[in-house]
Chains A and B, each alone.
Chain A
Amino acid sequence: MSERVRTVTTVAVMVVMASALALLISTQPVNVDRAEAIGSRIKCPVCQGESIANSPSQLAEDMMDLVAERVASGAGDQQIIDELLASYTGALLLDPPASGSTLVLWLAPLAAVGVGVGIILWWRRHPGPMPATEAPSAPRSRTRLLLGGLILAASFAGIVVVASTSLQDRPAPASGVADIGQQDLADVSNETMEAVVAANLDNPQINGMRLALAERYYEEGDYRSAFPHYLAVAESAEATDVEAASALTRLGWMAYEGNGEVETAIRLLDQALAIEPGSSVALYLKGRVQWCGAGDPESATSLFEQVLENPSLPEESRSEIEADLDRASSGAACT
């Protein structure tokens, strides 16, 4: 067999093998764990750069459960991601979109490849050390010096601007609030949080921490400990609307649940709704207070209906509220 024939045969065998591989790979039935895929694109709000799929924290697990539920209910990837980002503050997309402020991230590597290839090709035709900074019309060394200086000045200016913005605009918060605020709060003990709150009474950034701490007491059923923190947030001039509204909502519910004060409860919940109209939690709890506390199933019915208008209501809450709505509208006593 001549050399040529052998070569042609070998190439043919290679082509056949490669196409067989390509065919077998491309006909692989796609079986992706969608929940996992979505979860790996969402940053866990209380962790350092971990996705909710990887993080062992309770919040991340809850969020993963929600994702699995939504996947099972047939929601689209983008829809689920949008819902998560909207309902969890601090959740971020780890997979930055190629648009808006993160377009640069995708363009810069491309540009780097382009510049690199350009320099190599240029250098190939004009062998010389520094093609990028060489202008044939000007004396070499001076142009280079100038360009080098300019690049340096630009990078220096960039760094200085970054450094000074972080120095000027954001005064260092007292005794490490920013620090703790960025940490995984799930790992911080109640005592630590209390201590931090106590040490930072004047710090406007403390409301988030207070609220998290109060929320924790609330879930443990320790209304007595939760109360002062909710109150402080509700009264704080620095609290955001969302923070104030959720503090008022909890205060209202605790007034009813803990002390049976129906009027106070409704007043507080109305205040919450005034700040954040349409808050599902406030609407629902107000409905419960109207129904169970004030014995007014009709007001409750209309409130429950308003809650159910919220399209992003989690499925399990929805079915629970629908059950309540059924019973309230039939005039039954609350359960």
Chain B
Amino acid sequence: MLALLGSAGVVAAIIGSVLLVIRGIRSARGGTADLVTPSKLILAGAVIAMAAMQIALLTDDFSLAYLANQHSTTTPFPFDVATAWAALEGSIVLWGLILAVFIWAVAARHRKAPDQLEAAALAVMGGVAVFFFGLMITVANPFEVCVDALATGCAGSSPWPFATVDVPADGPGPNPLLQNHYMMAIHPPILYIGYVGLTVPFAYAIGALALAVPGPEWLRRSHRSTLVAWSFLALGIVLGGWWAYEVLSWGGYWAWDPVENASLMPWLVATAFLHSGLVQQRRGMLQAWNFILVISAFSLTILGTFLTRSGTINSVHSFTQSAIGPALLGFLVLVLVGSFTLFSMRSHLVATSPRLESFVSREGGFLVNNLLLAVFAFIVLIGTTYPLLLEAFSGTRVGVGEPFFNRLAVPLSFLLLLTMGFGPVTPWRGAAPGLLWRRLRAPTLIALSLGIVTVLGVTRLGWVVLAVVLGTFVAGAIVGLLVEQTRIRAEKTGRPLLAEARTVIGNDKSFWAGQLSHLGVALVAVGMAFAANLPLNAQVVLAPGDSVDFAGYGLVYDAPFRRSEPNRVVQGARIDVYQGDRRITTLEPRLNLYGSNPSPIVTPAVMRRAGGDLYLTLRRTDSETIELDLDTSPMVWLIWLGGLTAAAGGFWSLAARKADRAVTQEVVTTDV
């Protein structure tokens, strides 16, 4: 029943998508066509599909093969809901639903002000939707019914909803790692909003190229969606790192794993695009570059999905195990070839742009920033794909990991920080002599002073000091600019400074929202430098009653414990943490055993402190003793705070845009 309902939803969404493509093209050619109805049909279909999946999960309907293999009656809330995106087939349903919402949002706006560009963009989005909903009825069908039940799980399935169903009594449940922390329930949807959101600027870009209107109109129309995508990607990346830190028990948050890189690459390119889009809107430059960036950003989301979902990362050879790999790769090739062919056909229209008057200008800074971000993304891309390509071509296996990425990305990140200090204080077109000096001398002095304080009081490690100096420089430049502008206004109006500061920010909210994101990135840099360079660690073997001194704390192993929960057995050790004679907390590092899976999920216990987290990992237990890893992660919270701040800047900018839209329109027209 639910299989039928879900499949019906998917089919409805496909029909809607095909209709949207046909009508979108007709409307883009100057005809009139209703685009809202097909978009509603897609949304309705996607909602029905997701609802069918959720009802199945909440009612333990194991007649669906997806549930039989990914769900278990013991999976607790909210992980049963999240099981909908715990594996490939389900995650594509989520992808489709988010895409449907974006399509609907664009189409609903279309009704108010119909125009050809938007119709063309909708046609492109319809095409993307055809592909993703198409996956759901072909190679990644989440609504196949189980026809060959095992004791737990399903050995054979059929896409035909009316096939004779063989229902297993229970399933093995989702991957233990995914039901070990609540963050896994929200991290994928957030990241997916980011990935899917990039479809909108891509669709507008292709629409603009197809209609031969390469002006800034497409950028303006898709700017909000780009901001949504960028902010959610940032949030998703931070939450992913946080999750890794809380769950993966090695005390780190970023390992340059291909799955992580798959989210970083589109974010880097989207960051470059947000900046270069601004240059085109303000100065009419970088038209061609913006097309390249947005096509790359969208392609990277597909590439990332291909890398993470086709099994290619595990082994080049597992590429053919599922048809999803060739399908995604084929779509990627289609997108790249189609987009760039269209782009080269229209390149003569990409108008001659005005001359760059000076490198010492806002647009000059954006150029440098775009170069650095593009190179950064390229490094991540080549480091992630090169081992796969080399193995596919020559069979040679090489490893490309953390040392490679760190060696290139760390210096590049410091250059980006430096640019981030200069850029915002540099005016468009060119800076008057002495202006930069006046604006940057105080931040420089403060940054160097803080560097000296760090060296004398904390550490003499170069990377940490450099991060503190550059982070302070960025923050100082931003605050300095705010102070300067507030003063100028206050001198004119005579009103109090605080009120004027609010006016200054209120007059250009999106700029200051961007600066908030910059502050966040600076915080992340400082946090990373501390956490990576100044951790302490030790390994101890303790018997009950034993104590050990570590990082200024006294740790006493109280006793082991073991408890059964519906979906797992938790085996752990109670460790009392003392500071001096006072017991400040009890930590419970654990080994969680899920179902029949014989290997435990090692779950660390973390005590959060401003100076540095205390991070305990239980390595082994036997009847007498435990083996415990002790780590500190100095200032690691700065990374979470900074990441959330960066994302918050994006969301604020989004809110600001909505409020300022009328104003923005004016500014843009007068500027051109």
Point out residues on A near B: beta carbons under 8 Å.
7, 10, 13-14, 17-18, 20-21, 24-28, 40-41, 43, 48-51, 54-56, 92-96, 101-102, 104-105, 108-109, 112-113, 116-117, 120, 123-124, 127-130, 133, 140-141, 144-145, 147-149, 151-152, 155-156, 159-163, 165-167, 170, 172-173, 176, 178-179, 181-183, 186-187, 189
Contact = CB atoms under 8 A, between A and B. Distances in A.
B220 to A, nearest CB: 19
Interface size class of B (residues with CB under 8 A): 35 or more
A235 B349 CA distance: 69
Contacts of A141: 347-348
A159 to B, nearest CB: 5
A94 B256 CA distance: 11
Contacts of A48: 257, 313-314
B445 A148 contact: no
Contact of B399 (A96, A172, A178): A96
B536 to A, nearest CB: 11
B337 A140 contact: no
A133 B340 CA distance: 13
Interface of B (DSSP majority class)? helix
B449 interface: yes
Contact of A182 (B258, B318, B455, B619): B318
B370 to A, nearest CB: 8
Nearest to A148: B344
Nearest to A57: B599
B619 A109 contact: no
23 contacts: A17-B445, A21-B451, A25-B462, A49-B255, A51-B401, A54-B252, A54-B255, A55-B250, A93-B398, A93-B399, A94-B400, A112-B375, A113-B375, A117-B371, A124-B359, A130-B350, A148-B344, A156-B336, A162-B389, A166-B320, A167-B326, A179-B311, A179-B314
Contacts of A152: 336-337, 340-341, 344
B356 A127 contact: yes
Contact of B404 (A26, A101, A105): A105
Interface in B231-286: 249-250, 252, 255-258
Nearest to A26: B462
A163 B465 CA distance: 46
B460 A24 contact: yes
A109 B444 contact: no
Q: Which 4 A-B pairs have the closest CB atoms?
A: A148-B344, A94-B401, A92-B399, A95-B403
A165 B393 contact: yes
A172 to B, nearest CB: 5
Given A48-B313, A92-B398, A116-B375, A187 B599 contact: yes
Given A14-B444, A17-B449, A163-B329, A40 B402 contact: yes
A178 B317 contact: yes
B493 interface: no
A94 B316 CA distance: 18
A242 to B, nearest CB: 16
A20 B456 CA distance: 11
Contacts of B354: 127
A198 to B, nearest CB: 16
Contacts of B390: 101
B32 interface: no
Contact of A18 (B257, B398, B404, B448): B448
Contact of A41 (B321, B403, B445): B403
Contact of B452 (A21, A124, A189): A21
B266 to A, nearest CB: 18
Given A92-B399, A129-B351, A109 B371 contact: no
Nearest to A183: B314
Nearest to A161: B393
A233 to B, nearest CB: 21
Given A17-B448, A101-B396, A56 B344 contact: no
Interface string B364-408: 000100010011001100110010111011101111111110011
B314 A182 contact: yes
A174 to B, nearest CB: 11
A277 to B, nearest CB: 27
A148 B350 CA distance: 14
Nearest to B312: A166
B602 interface: yes
Contacts of B257: 48-49
Given A56-B602, A144-B344, A163-B329, A101 B408 contact: no
B393 A162 contact: yes
Contacts of A20: 452
Given A24-B455, A179-B315, A101 B448 contact: no
A182 B315 contact: yes
Interface string B509-530: 0000000000000000000000
B387 to A, nearest CB: 9
A202 B320 CA distance: 20
A49 B321 contact: no
B383 A186 contact: no
A163 B326 contact: yes
Contact of B382 (A14, A108, A160): A108
Contacts of A92: 397-399
A129 B258 contact: no
Contacts of A104: 382, 386
Interface in B432-484: 437, 441, 444-445, 448-449, 451-452, 455-456, 460-462, 465, 469
B250 A54 contact: yes
Contact of A127 (B333, B353, B462, B602): B353
Contacts of A151: 340
Contacts of A128: 352-353
Contacts of B461: 25, 28
A183 B337 CA distance: 35
B455 A21 contact: yes
Contacts of B553: none
Nearest to B359: A124
Given A93-B399, A108-B378, A179-B321, 12 more contacts: A14-B448, A21-B451, A21-B455, A56-B249, A92-B397, A92-B398, A94-B400, A113-B371, A141-B348, A148-B343, A159-B332, A166-B320
Contacts of B599: 186-187, 189
Contacts of B314: 48, 179, 182-183
B18 interface: no
B400 A145 contact: no
Nearest to A95: B403
A123 B356 contact: yes
B287 interface: yes
Contacts of B340: 148, 151-152
A54 B352 CA distance: 52
B356 A96 contact: no
Nearest to A91: B399
B545 interface: no
Q: Which of B249, B250, B313, B403 counts the most A-chain CB atoms under 10 A from its CB? A: B403
B448 to A, nearest CB: 4
Given A105-B386, A105-B400, A28 B460 contact: yes
Contacts of B256: 49
A9 to B, nearest CB: 11
B429 to A, nearest CB: 14
Contacts of B394: 101
Contacts of B345: 145
Nearest to A124: B356
A13 B445 contact: yes
B288 interface: yes
B403 A109 contact: no
A26 B460 CA distance: 8
B398 A101 contact: yes
A56 B320 contact: no
A109 B344 contact: no
Nearest to B386: A105
B355 A127 contact: yes
A166 B392 contact: yes
Contacts of A163: 319, 326, 329
Contacts of A40: 402-403
